[in-house]
Amino acid sequence: MKKLFICAALLIAPAFAQAGIVDSALDSIGIWHGNRVEQPTSHSSPDVLAKIAAAMSRDNREGGYQNTSYQGRRGYHGSRGYDENQDDAASSSGESAVTVPAAGTIEVGFSPNRSAMNVALHVVKASTRSLDIAAYEFTNKRFEKAVVAAMRRGVQVRIVVDAKENVGKGASIAGRLAAVGAQVRYVDDAPLMHNKYLISDGETVGTGSLNFTVRAEKYNHENFRADWRNRALAQQYMGDFNGMWANGHPWR
**Residue 79 pLDDT exceeds 50:** no
**Mean predicted confidence (pLDDT) in 124-153:** 98
- pTM score, two decimals? 0.70
Question: 179-200 b/e with 16+ CB inside 10 Å = b?
Answer: eeebebbbbbebbebebbbbbb
* 176, 144 contact by CB (below 8 A): yes
**Residue 197 pLDDT exceeds 80:** yes
Examine residue 112 and say whether the peptide bond preceding it is cis (omega within 30 degrees of 0). yes
Residue 42 buriedness (CB in 10 A; 0-12 / 13-18 / 19+):
exposed
12: containing domain: 2-61
The answer on 12 and 125 residing in a single domain is no
Least-confidence region, from 56-65, 174-183, 217-226: 56-65
Give the Cα separation of 162 and 188 in Å (integer). 7
66 lies in some domain = no
Nearest to 230 by CA among 98, 104, 133, 99: 104
The answer on 228 and 162 residing in a single domain is yes
93 lies in some domain = no
145 lies in some domain = yes
The domain tally of the chain equals 2
78 lies in some domain = no
82 lies in some domain = no
pLDDT tens, 22-70?
555 555 544 444 444 444 344 445 565 565 555 555 555 445 555 545 4
CATH number (domain holding residue 209): 3.30.870.10
Model pLDDT, residue 66: 56
Best-predicted range by mean pLDDT among 5-19, 59-73, 161-175?
A: 161-175
50 lies in some domain = yes
pLDDT tens, 87-123?
555 555 567 899 998 898 999 999 998 899 999 999 9
The answer on 129 and 246 residing in a single domain is yes
Nearest to 238 by CA among 122, 155, 158, 178: 158
Model pLDDT, residue 53: 58
